[in-house]
């Protein structure tokens, strides 16, 4: 019987699942992707190595419904394969989690307690854990944390200008999209045999972040305590004056309504009034859609500029994520705004597109945790 690992990546509006062999770092045996979760026309695409297995659109109101749709595809495709581990991408590990861990009741409760730090993402991640545990009760559940890559960044870029007691209590710049960053570094190493000394990774999707990397290690991130900071995103506001938030609260807005505004009603959706999907905005003739795209590209260029200043120059800028990899006109506009950038030696930086593979990073982590569990 074939033993496999499931790499389950639950994003804010999408789910990606890869089924991979346990024994080696090999291409997936099957993939299942759900896009546009929360819409009437969510897309479920399942593929096997010889082509598409199914491609359908249906209404999926939340992550639970999306996971159920994936489970149906998995059940039909896996056959007699035995799932021995499920690796989950978890956006936030707080102070508690940096390295991949086996998820048991105590870890699940700790993650539940962290939901206020990532209310858009952790509920979906926890739903994935529960669904996978019900579907594969004997499989090892492994949590892998986007914040882990950034855990060792310099203290200077980990703090806010707040009293030290708040930093010790956990109010700090965690940084996100760490699994994506790990994937980019692995691919650059495999292709080039080395890494640039100064690197910026622009992960552009429904969620967006810009990471400064120095000698292969996180040096700073546009995202901070939560996944709201930095760039404008699909439905998230990005960088905003804290005074504006105090104003809204004093004017009578509730904390829950403010959370909805910042996480679910802002960004490209809020600016355009049309959609959080860049593809929809590019296809629209609406002036509001154009303004949203203008704001997005300017926001990205500003964050890349900040990262370059932190590094003292940048040798290579990598674009990844759904927008970063596929929206060439958006990429070109961002690059065009960065004509002043220079490497530490004074030359023009190299701009590259490198597809990220967070699921492969999940599988690698799952193999390591599985090996430790068997050895122990």
Q: Which residues are catalytic?
A: 146
Q: Which helix (H) or strand (E) holds 168?
A: helix 164-168
What is the CB-side half-sphere exposure of residue 303 using CA atoms within 13 A? 29
CA distance linking residue 61 with residue 65, whole number of Å: 7
Q: What is the DSSP string of 47-92?
A: EETTEEEEEEEE---SHHHHHHHHHHHHHHHHTT-EEEEEEEEES-
Q: CA-CA distances (angstroms) from residue 324 to 31, 194, 210, 319?
A: 21, 23, 11, 5
What is the CB-side half-sphere exposure of residue 24 using CA atoms within 13 A? 3
CA distance linking residue 276 with residue 263, whole number of Å: 12
- Phi and psi angles of residue 21, each rounded to the nearest 5 degrees, phi first: -70, 150
Residue of 297, 156, 171 lying closest to 214 (CA atoms): 156
Q: CA-CA distances (angstroms) from residue 258 to 188, 236, 241, 263, 266?
A: 40, 12, 14, 9, 11
The answer for 292, left when phi > 0, alpha when psi is -120 to 50, beta otherwise, is: alpha
- CB atoms under 10 Å from CB of 28, counted, come to 22
Q: Which helix (H) or strand (E) holds 219?
A: strand 217-221
Coil, strand or helix at 101: strand
Coil, strand or helix at 373: helix
Q: CA-CA distances (angstroms) from residue 211 to 72, 185, 312, 322, 330?
A: 36, 12, 14, 17, 19
In 3-state terms the chain splits into helix, strand, coil percentages (rounded to 5) of 40, 20, 35
């Amino acid at each position: 019987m074939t033993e496999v690992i499931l790499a389950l990546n639950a994003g804010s509006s999408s789910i990606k699942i890869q089924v991979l062999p346990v024994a080696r770092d090999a291409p997936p045996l099957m993939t299942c992707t759900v896009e546009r979760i929360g819409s009437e026309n969510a897309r479920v695409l399942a593929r096997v190595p010889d082509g598409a297995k199914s491609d359908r659109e249906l209404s999926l109101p939340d992550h639970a419904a999306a996971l159920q749709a994936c489970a149906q595809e998995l059940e039909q495709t896996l056959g007699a394969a035995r799932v021995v581990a499920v690796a989950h991408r978890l956006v936030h590990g707080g102070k508690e989690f940096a390295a991949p861990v086996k998820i048991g009741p105590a870890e699940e409760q700790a993650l539940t307690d962290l939901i206020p730090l990532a209310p858009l993402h952790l509920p979906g991640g926890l739903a994935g854990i529960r669904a996978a545990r019900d579907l594969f009760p004997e499989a090892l559940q492994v949590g892998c944390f986007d914040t882990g890559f950034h855990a060792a960044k310099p203290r200077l870029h980990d703090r806010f200008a707040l009293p030290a007691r708040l930093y010790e209590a956990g109010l700090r710049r965690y940084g996100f999209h760490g699994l994506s960053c790990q994937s980019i570094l692995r691919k650059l190493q495999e292709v080039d045999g080395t890494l640039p000394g100064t690197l910026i990774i622009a992960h552009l999707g429904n969620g967006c972040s810009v990471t400064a990397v120095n000698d292969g290690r996180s040096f700073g991130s546009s995202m901070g305590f939560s996944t709201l900071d930095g760039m404008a995103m699909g439905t998230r506001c990005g960088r905003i004056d804290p005074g504006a938030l105090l104003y809204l609260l004093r004017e009578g807005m509730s904390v829950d309504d403010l959370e909805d505004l910042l996480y679910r009603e802002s960004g490209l959706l809020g600016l355009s009034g049309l959609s959080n999907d860049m593809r929809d905005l590019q296809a629209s003739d609406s002036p509001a859609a154009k303004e949203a795209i203008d704001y997005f590209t300017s926001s990205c260029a500003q964050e890349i500029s900040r990262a370059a200043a932190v590094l003292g120059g940048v040798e290579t800028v990598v674009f990844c994520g759904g927008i970063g990899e596929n929206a060439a006109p958006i990429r070109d506009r961002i690059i065009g705004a960065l004509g002043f950038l220079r490497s530490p030696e004074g030359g023009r930086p190299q701009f590259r597109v490198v597809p990220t593979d967070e699921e492969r990073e999940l599988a690698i982590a799952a193999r390591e945790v599985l090996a430790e569990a068997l050895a122990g």
